């Protein structure tokens, strides 16, 4: 009908928005004559408008209608007969000043959604401003990668192929067919892709939500399916089984879009709001006498509302929804709207008729291999002695993952000289700042590991067939449960046809044979699914020793990834559930990797066989008799193992803020380090991989080198020393007893001199003169060590003449840039913690309290030191001077708020907000019960002997706005102190760092994923967080390109040991440098790696009085070390 230029006032815009303000036009159309048969709600016309909008971009490019500007971006904010969107990259108060329509008295509407957002996880752009076309989304979608992958798989699996009439976007029936059944949704030559990771999470959710609304789902129904409540064991739904049945039905078909969110939505027929299952966002509503309904984040947002006119007020709880019918004007509360939607189909009846359930069954006790064959199989799958002695023993013995300490100082897998399973090349991603992790201990009620296998029907056409699935309580299956699933293949039991594809291939084919083998299993999988298989088992199980001898295998992670992506490409992934049956999965990280790359369930036959083998050993039985491990039957031991894996999976989900394993499956929430493009493209498409590396043939070669006959370890397992160093034969560890000895020789520390021996009788408390020659030996030992970190691959290259040392910043000034890692009083003894603080304060650096508070006596300078360097206030310390201060420069605030008092905050010179820690990002601090002495319990306001596990760091902070509020509050309580924010290196940290800078932080700390720790789950130490070299460069670059670099100081820490490390990190953007484990070594640590056991032989990490007396360090030792590093720089 015509065009209209939207009246706007560009003078109202800020400089950034003004520089990129688009030209804005509205065009008007009327319903085509061919739509005379449209229904009362104009759904046919809406579908036509929807498809025309998505066709527009395709046609524009086909016709060469491109703009000669930077981005050639044309964006249609809305094209609907029911709704219209006004939005922009502007401050909220500017919107009505900018869009003059919004001030026009003649402009009236039944409803309005008004939404302002602070852009944190994407760089702001006009099209990404909120609200979207049907949704206003205040939150984060933590499962986005998986949701996008599965929607792509669904679109590819739609049955109606591209035909001649696919361009007919007017005919009523034809548009319904295109929306619900046609596989053109992601064919860019036909329609603009439905989803795209180049858009924001809100834009992708909006696109899928809109498509579901166009396919005859009512808007509340679409949202209930996409963002389900935690319906299991929910007392509020006890009287509404139809709602529970709705969620059960849709939960089998569709992965939840999971994450903290307040969603406001409208398709023009109704308007509603809903909270995610955790309910972290505020949402309050008021209803007036005249029927007007207001919903807002906080009460008082809407001006002019009179209290006397309000007849009802309320707030949304977790997973709750409200809705207003825009035709009838009726307000519907949570139960009313959900019951109305759920009653449209007999979901409960469909589930009873069609669904099969696999609960927990008894574990078989029969062995599948004899001991010799089991050991051979274990070796060939990469098991080491430590995996049984540490992980299996802890998991089968106590039902818990192994706890360990001291971080990860082994080489990254791609640089290691030892063979590694492919899992070790993948790092788990985690939530920080822009969305919160979940606390699996305290918020477990909203979490679930349930999975489904079988053919998943369309989410766009609801039918009874959609309930025909096999439902699993846990993704970890035993032999009996595998047999139960096999029984469902019988026609009388459901007729779920099964197929097993072996991932083993002939060893004679050599390493190059892996490519042919991968192609073969992918082809076989496609063929079997086309033939009707609904359960596909990828199995590397060998029948006997002879098959183990003559064959090798495709690592299960490579196999599942390749098959998963091939089935997506061929439009078959939704037709089948995949079970991985493998001997190469025993750690929780392994299970997370397999599920994350497409497995619906895992049968870890060799792990369960190993539990049986371990349980039957004489040594194990003796330990049970002696009470060292809890007595258990063989069934209980296997059940313990599964419980440990289940709990570990919940913890891994929670790090990313994900509640449901079904949303984590196929989400690929990992970063690869050291994987070649060839491997990524074969099995891990879409995974971030910033460092190239191992090829398919090299993977096959590593698998072969693990075999016992190659490792020269027939009949026994190799101790690879991946966790605990094994001298000479094992994996290299940078922090070793040998390294500690070399450093002690350089700084004049004798570990035998302490309060427990003859320190008081020795001159200068036994501190020997520092030795430059010995520091050179220490430095050389690191220079000549095996490659371990990315920075080891870098060297200095100068393009200029050297300058005299006198012109360089002096060592005294350089040391002011040095900090200690955030090690808590509790993880460290009083002696170790206070000695570090005094030493760093002496050199003008910044000591860090860590999580847990400090004794108030440390707030004042020490003024009672005698000529022997002793103080009655600190009688346990030696080598003191009057004027020393034991007050940590940086006081850390973390989730548990242990020890955080007003005095603790006002005595800080800097306050650090711990958003994550390198050893276990996404998890809270952990202090084992034996280390919670009376003194530590007093500081932390807790009980002696009780283990303290904090919630994940600031899991109550779920957006950059919240962080900005905390930064503001901390500045307010201590105006003289700066505020630092501690982050851990991960892809996307650059955008987060920009948000933190905008939130007014003074310092951003980038920690590497190898950080030391007093106690942490072993799988977290080894498998979460990335090298700081990647995170530091990304953060520095992002801050620079956004004009924010001058606003903050960048600090780095994680395995920094020498002046070379300092210089490299400075060149990559750091201005301050944190020293953790090496600073502990400088005060006497001997790397015994028993911090978590409270048995440190030199009292550095023990709270036992007798061991603390053996502490050998003084402030002078630490000062000597820092002086050497500064001089080296």
Residue written as token pair 């000695």: 835
Residues in the chain: 1129
Beta-strand pair 261-266/978-984: unpaired
Cis status, amide bond into 341, omega within 30 of 0: no
Supply the pTM of this predicted model: 0.94
pLDDT attached to residue 41: 80
- Under DSSP, the state recorded for 332 is E
CA distance 713 to 120: 53
Q: Does 184 have pLDDT greater than 70?
A: no
For 358-378, write each residue's pLDDT tens digit. Answer: 999 999 999 999 999 999 999
Q: Does 955 have pLDDT greater than 80?
A: no
CA distance 890 to 971: 14
Are 127 and 75 in contact by the 8 Å Cβ rule? The answer is: yes
For 187-223, write each residue's pLDDT tens digit. Answer: 667 788 888 888 888 899 999 999 999 988 899 999 9
CA distance 1122 to 1128: 10
Q: Does 429 have pLDDT greater than 60?
A: yes
CA distance 78 to 412: 49
pLDDT attached to residue 304: 85
For 596-643, write each residue's pLDDT tens digit. Answer: 999 999 999 999 999 999 999 999 999 999 999 999 999 999 999 999
Termini Cα distance of the chain = 72
pLDDT attached to residue 37: 81
Closest residue by Cα to residue 853 from 807, 911, 805: 911
Q: How high does pLDDT run on average in the chain?
A: 92
- Mean pLDDT calculated for residue range 1030-1054: 96
- Mean pLDDT calculated for residue range 377-387: 94
Measured CA angle at 77 (ends 73, 81), to 5 deg: 140
- Among 128-137, 262-271, 806-815, where is mean pLDDT lowest? 128-137
Closest residue by Cα to residue 342 from 247, 435, 434: 247
Q: How confident is the model at residue 49 (pLDDT cuts 50, 70, 90)?
A: very high
pLDDT attached to residue 123: 64
For 857-904, write each residue's pLDDT tens digit. Answer: 999 999 999 999 999 999 999 999 999 999 999 999 987 677 889 999
- Mean pLDDT calculated for residue range 813-819: 97
Greater confidence (226 vs 1013) lies with 226
| Tokens (6 digits) for 681 | 């493209």
Closest residue by Cα to residue 453 from 490, 423, 482: 482
- Under DSSP, the state recorded for 456 is P
- Mean pLDDT calculated for residue range 819-823: 93
pLDDT attached to residue 896: 67
- Among 156-170, 937-951, 955-969, 1076-1090, where is mean pLDDT lowest? 156-170
**Percent above pLDDT 70 for the chain:** 97
Are 583 and 605 in contact by the 8 Å Cβ rule? The answer is: yes
Are 822 and 892 in contact by the 8 Å Cβ rule? The answer is: yes
| Tokens (6 digits) for 375 | 């050991």
Residues 6+ apart with CB under 8 A from 105: none
Name the CA radius of gyration of the chain, rounded.
31
pLDDT attached to residue 89: 85
Q: How confident is the model at residue 1094 (pLDDT cuts 50, 70, 90)?
A: very high
- Mean pLDDT calculated for residue range 94-117: 91
For 717-750, write each residue's pLDDT tens digit. Answer: 889 999 999 877 899 999 999 999 999 999 999 9
pLDDT attached to residue 161: 55
Q: Does 543 have pLDDT greater than 80?
A: yes
pLDDT attached to residue 222: 95
Q: Does 120 have pLDDT greater than 90?
A: no
For 553-574, write each residue's pLDDT tens digit. Answer: 999 999 999 999 999 988 899 9
Q: Does 162 have pLDDT greater than 60?
A: no
CA distance 876 to 858: 14
Buried residues in 956-991 as b, exposed as e (16+ CB within 10 A): ebbbbebbbebbeebbeebeebbbbbbbbbbbbbbb
């Amino acid at each position: 009908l015509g065009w209209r230029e939207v009246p706007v006032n560009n003078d109202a815009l800020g400089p950034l928005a003004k520089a990129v303000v688009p030209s804005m036009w509205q065009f008007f159309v009327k319903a085509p004559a061919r739509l005379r048969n449209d229904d009362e709600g104009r759904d046919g016309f809406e579908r036509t408008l929807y498809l025309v909008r998505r066709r527009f971009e395709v046609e524009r490019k086909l016709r060469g209608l491109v703009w000669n500007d930077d981005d050639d971006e044309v964006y249609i904010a809305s094209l609907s007969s029911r709704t219209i969107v006004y939005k922009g990259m502007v401050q909220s108060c500017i919107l009505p000043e900018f869009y003059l329509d919004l001030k026009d008295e003649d402009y009236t509407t039944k409803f309005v959604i008004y939404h302002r957002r602070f852009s944190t996880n994407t760089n702001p752009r006009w099209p990404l401003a909120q609200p979207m076309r049907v949704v206003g989304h205040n939150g984060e979608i933590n499962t986005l990668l998986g949701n996008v992958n599965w929607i792509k798989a669904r679109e590819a699996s739609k049955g109606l192929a591209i035909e001649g009439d696919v361009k007919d976007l007017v005919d009523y029936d034809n548009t319904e067919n295109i929306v619900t059944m046609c596989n053109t949704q992601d064919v860019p030559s036909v329609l603009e892709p439905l989803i795209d990771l180049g858009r924001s999470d809100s834009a992708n959710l909006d696109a899928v939500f809109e498509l579901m609304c166009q396919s005859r789902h009512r808007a509340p129904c679409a949202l209930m399916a996409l963002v389900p409540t935690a319906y299991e064991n929910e007392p509020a739904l006890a009287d509404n089984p139809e709602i529970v049945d709705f969620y059960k039905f849709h939960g089998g078909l569709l992965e939840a879009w999971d994450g903290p969110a307040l969603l406001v939505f409208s398709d023009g027929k109704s308007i509603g709001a809903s909270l995610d299952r955790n309910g972290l966002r505020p949402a309050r509503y008021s209803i007036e006498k005249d029927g007007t309904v207001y919903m807002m984040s906080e009460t008082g947002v809407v001006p002019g509302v009179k209290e006397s006119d309000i007849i009802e007020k309320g707030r949304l709880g977790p997973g709750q929804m409200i809705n207003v019918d825009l035709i009838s004007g009726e307000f519907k509360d949570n139960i009313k709207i959900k019951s109305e939607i759920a009653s449209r189909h007999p979901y409960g009846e469909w589930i009873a008729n069609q669904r099969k359930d696999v609960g927990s069954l008894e574990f078989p006790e029969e062995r599948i291999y004899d001991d010799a064959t089991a050991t051979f199989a274990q070796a060939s799958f990469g098991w080491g002695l430590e995996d049984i002695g540490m992980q299996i023993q802890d998991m089968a013995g106590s039902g818990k993952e192994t706890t360990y300490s001291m971080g990860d100082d082994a080489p990254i897998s791609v640089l290691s000289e030892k063979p590694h399973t492919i899992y070790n090349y993948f790092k788990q991603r985690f939530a920080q700042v822009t969305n919160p992790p979940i606390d699996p201990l305290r918020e477990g009620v909203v979490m679930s590991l349930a999975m489904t296998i079988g053919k998943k029907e369309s989410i766009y056409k609801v039918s009874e067939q959609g309930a025909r699935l096999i439902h699993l309580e846990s993704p970890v299956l035993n032999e009996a449960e595998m047999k139960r699933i096999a029984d469902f293949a019988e026609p009388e039991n459901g007729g779920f046809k099964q197929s097993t594809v072996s991932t083993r291939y002939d060893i004679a084919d050599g390493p190059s044979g892996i490519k042919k083998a991968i192609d073969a299993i992918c082809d076989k999988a496609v063929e079997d699914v086309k033939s009707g298989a609904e359960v596909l088992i990828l199995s590397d199980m060998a029948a006997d020793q002879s098959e183990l001898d003559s064959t090798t295998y495709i690592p299960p992670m490579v196999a599942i990834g390749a098959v998963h992506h091939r089935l997506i490409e061929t439009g078959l992934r939704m037709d089948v559930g995949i079970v991985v049956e493998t001997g190469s999965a025993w750690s929780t990280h392994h299970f997370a990797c397999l599920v994350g790359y497409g497995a619906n369930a895992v049968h870890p036959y060799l792990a369960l066989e190993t539990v049986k083998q371990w349980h039957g050993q004489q040594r194990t039985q003796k330990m049970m008799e002696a009470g060292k491990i809890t007595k258990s039957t063989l069934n209980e031991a296997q059940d313990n193992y599964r419980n440990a894996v289940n709990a570990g999976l919940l913890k891994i989900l929670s790090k990313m803020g994900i509640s449901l394993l079904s949303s984590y499956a196929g989400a690929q929430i990992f970063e690869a380090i050291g994987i070649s493009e060839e491997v990524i493209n074969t099995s891990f498409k879409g995974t971030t991989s910033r460092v190239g590396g191992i090829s398919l043939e090299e993977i096959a070669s590593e698998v072969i080198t693990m075999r016992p006959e190659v490792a020269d370890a027939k009949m026994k397992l190799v101790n690879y020393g991946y966790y605990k160093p094994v001298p000479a034969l094992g994996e290299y560890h940078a922090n070793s007893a040998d390294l500690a000895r070399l450093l002690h020789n350089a700084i004049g520390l004798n570990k035998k001199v302490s309060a427990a021996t003859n320190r008081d009788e020795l001159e200068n408390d036994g501190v020997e003169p520092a030795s430059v020659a010995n520091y050179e030996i220490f430095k050389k030992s690191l220079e000549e060590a095996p490659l371990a970190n990315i920075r080891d691959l870098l060297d200095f290259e100068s393009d200029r003449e050297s300058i005299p040392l006198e012109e360089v910043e002096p060592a005294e000034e350089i040391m002011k840039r040095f900090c200690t890692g955030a090690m808590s009083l509790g993880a460290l003894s009083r002696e170790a913690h206070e000695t570090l603080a005094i030493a760093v304060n002496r050199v003008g650096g910044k000591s860090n309290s860590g999580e847990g508070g400090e004794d108030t006596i440390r707030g004042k300078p020490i003024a009672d030191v005698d000529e022997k360097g002793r103080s009655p206030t600190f009688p346990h310390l030696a080598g003191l001077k009057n004027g020393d201060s034991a007050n940590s420069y940086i006081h850390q605030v973390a989730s548990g708020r242990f020890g955080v008092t007003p005095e603790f905050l006002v005595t800080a010179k800097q306050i650090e907000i711990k958003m994550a820690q390198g050893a276990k990002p996404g998890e809270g601090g952990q202090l084992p019960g034996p280390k919670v002495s009376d003194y530590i319990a007093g500081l932390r306001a807790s009980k002696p002997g009780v283990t303290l596990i904090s919630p994940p760091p600031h899991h109550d902070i779920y957006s950059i706005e919240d962080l900005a509020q905390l930064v503001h509050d901390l500045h307010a309580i201590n105006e003289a102190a700066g505020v630092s924010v501690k982050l851990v290196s991960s892809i996307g940290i650059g955008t987060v760092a920009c948000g933190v800078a905008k939130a007014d932080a003074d310092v951003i700390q980038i920690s590497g994923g190898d950080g030391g720790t007093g106690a942490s789950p072993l799988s977290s130490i080894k498998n979460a967080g990335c090298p700081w070299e990647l995170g530091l460069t990304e953060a520095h670059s992002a801050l620079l390109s956004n004009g924010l670099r001058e606003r903050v100081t960048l600090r780095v820490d994680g395995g920094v040991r020498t002046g070379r490390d300092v210089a490299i990190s400075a060149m990559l953007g750091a201005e301050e440098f944190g020293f953790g484990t090496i600073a502990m070594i400088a005060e006497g640590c001997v790397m015994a790696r028993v911090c978590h056991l409270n048995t440190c032989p030199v009292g550095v990490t023990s709270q036992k009085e007798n061991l603390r007396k053996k502490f050998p360090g003084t402030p002078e030792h630490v000062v000597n070390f820092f002086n050497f590093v500064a001089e080296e720089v």
